[in-house]
Amino acid sequence: MELKLYIMKRILLGIPMLFILLTVLFVILHIMPGDPVEALYGEKGSPEFLEEMRHRLGLDKPLLNQYFDYFSGLLSGNLGYSIHSGRPVIHEIIRTWPVTLQYCILTTLFSIFLGLFLGIISALKKEKIHDFIIRGISLVAFSLPAFWLGLLLQFVFCLRTGLFPLGGIQSLNLETPPSITGVILVDSLLTGNMVAFVDVLRHLVLPSIALAAQFVAVTCRVSRANIVETLGEDYITTARAKGASETVVLYRHALKNAILPVMTIWAWSFAGLLGGSIIIEKIFTLPGMGSLLFTGIMYRDYPLIQGILIFFAIITMVVSVILDVVYALLDPRIRYS
Q: Write the CA distances from 248 to 34, 141, 156, 163, 239, integer angstroms.
A: 63, 31, 42, 41, 9
> Is residue 122 near another protein by the rule CB under 8 A?
no
Contact region for another protein (CB under 8 A) — 21-29, 41-49, 244-252, 329-337?
A: 21-29
> Is residue 144 near another protein by the rule CB under 8 A?
yes
> Is residue 299 near another protein by the rule CB under 8 A?
no
> Is residue 125 near another protein by the rule CB under 8 A?
no
> Is residue 313 near another protein by the rule CB under 8 A?
yes
> Is residue 94 near another protein by the rule CB under 8 A?
no
> Is residue 18 near another protein by the rule CB under 8 A?
yes
Q: Which of 46, 65, 72, 143 binds another protein (CB under 8 A)?
A: 143
Cβ atoms 41, 56 nearer than 8 A: no
Q: Which of 39, 205, 282, 336 binds another protein (CB under 8 A)?
A: 282
Of 133 and 236, the one with the shorter C-beta distance to another protein is 133
Which alpha helices (H) appear in the chain, and where do they start and end? 2-31, 36-41, 47-57, 63-75, 89-124, 129-143, 146-153, 184-190, 194-231, 234-241, 246-248, 255-283, 289-298, 302-330
* Cα dihedral sign, 14-20-22-28: negative
In DSSP notation, 165-231 reads: -SSSSS-TTPPPPPPSSS-HHHHHHHTT-HHHHHHHHHHHHHHHHHHHHHHHHHHHHHHHHHHHHHH
Beta bridge partners of 81: 88
Query: 3-state DSSP call for residue 88?
Result: strand
> Is residue 16 near another protein by the rule CB under 8 A?
yes
CB of 297 to another protein, least distance (A): 5
Instruction: Report the C-alpha gap between 76 and 14 in whole angstroms.
Output: 18
Binding mask 154-193 toward another protein (x if CB under 8 A, else -) reads: xx---x------x---------------------------
Cβ atoms 96, 289 nearer than 8 A: yes
Contact region for another protein (CB under 8 A) — 83-91, 99-107, 171-179, 264-272?
A: 264-272
Q: Which residues bind another protein (CB under 8 A)?
A: 13, 16-18, 20-21, 24, 28-29, 32-33, 127, 132, 135, 139-140, 142-148, 151-152, 154-155, 159, 166, 268, 271-272, 274-276, 278-279, 282-283, 293-294, 297, 300, 305, 309, 312-313, 316-317
